Amino acid sequence: MPAARPARQSRGGLPGSGRPGARSAVGSEALDTPAASRAGPVLHCPSVRGPLARAGGARMIFHGYYADVPADEVDRFVRSQELGRLVTVGEDGTPHVGLYPFIVSGNLIELHIVREDEQAADLRARPRCVFEVDEVLAVIPSYWVHPEYAGAATAYHRTVIFECLGSVSEEPEAVAAQQLRLLAKHQQEGGFRSLAVGDPLYAGHLARLAALGLQVLRRRVKFKLGQNRPVETRRRVIAELRKRGRPNDARAADALEWTIARSAPPSA
């Protein structure tokens, strides 16, 4: 499967996992919590203990009202996305970013990469990484919310961030098997000769690629869909989105309607 690579970015270090033994941050889920082990939904993963838990610096803010999303809805969203961003750290501390097709199985995220890629080198030396999936929905003007206050302008999006430990395999059998799993998601209609080690058609292909496995340690969720606004304000924004009619506005309006439906009291 082809992978698109954006330019190198320098955006500071990877997010940490909190203090050892600390409660998980709002919007995060971790493998070592009893609730996570009982709940069982795929990717239902919060604080990592030990050296992985120690990291400084600022973090993305995860307000409770943005992070309060059912685990099965998060799983559905993640599985519906075609591409995700892998963030690794180079030897000099520079973050590297790549955009890849991926598959999810339990708490494992899989993708492939060219063996000589800088991100493959990063993971061999520094396996801690981040994988992120998102859906950009809309940016709205402030006056849809407040007639004067410019700070009411905002953006709507769904974002899920996974903190992971990555592994790199160059074994042809592992690469071929992973390619078939990726094709099963991204090219369900077939139309290709099945990959097999030893097939001359794929010999060069398998020799160039590495299979990446990202073991999820923590998942953080931010569905920023106007939950901080009263229902009547959200209804007004929904109407404006549908009237404006940009390519993603209908999806944004549907997403805001989902938040209203969730907050509605159950019918008698």
- What are the start-end ranges of the H helices in 99-230? 118-125, 172-186, 203-208
CATH of domain 28-134+147-224: 2.30.110.10
Dump pLDDT digits (tens) for 120-178. Answer: 999 999 999 999 999 999 999 999 999 999 999 999 999 999 999 999 999 999 999 99
| Residue 10 CB contacts under 8 Å (≥ 6 apart), including other chains | 94, 95
pLDDT in tens, 54-92: 444 556 667 898 999 999 999 999 999 999 999 999 999
List the domain boundaries for the chain.
28-134+147-224, 226-263
pTM for this predicted structure: 0.78
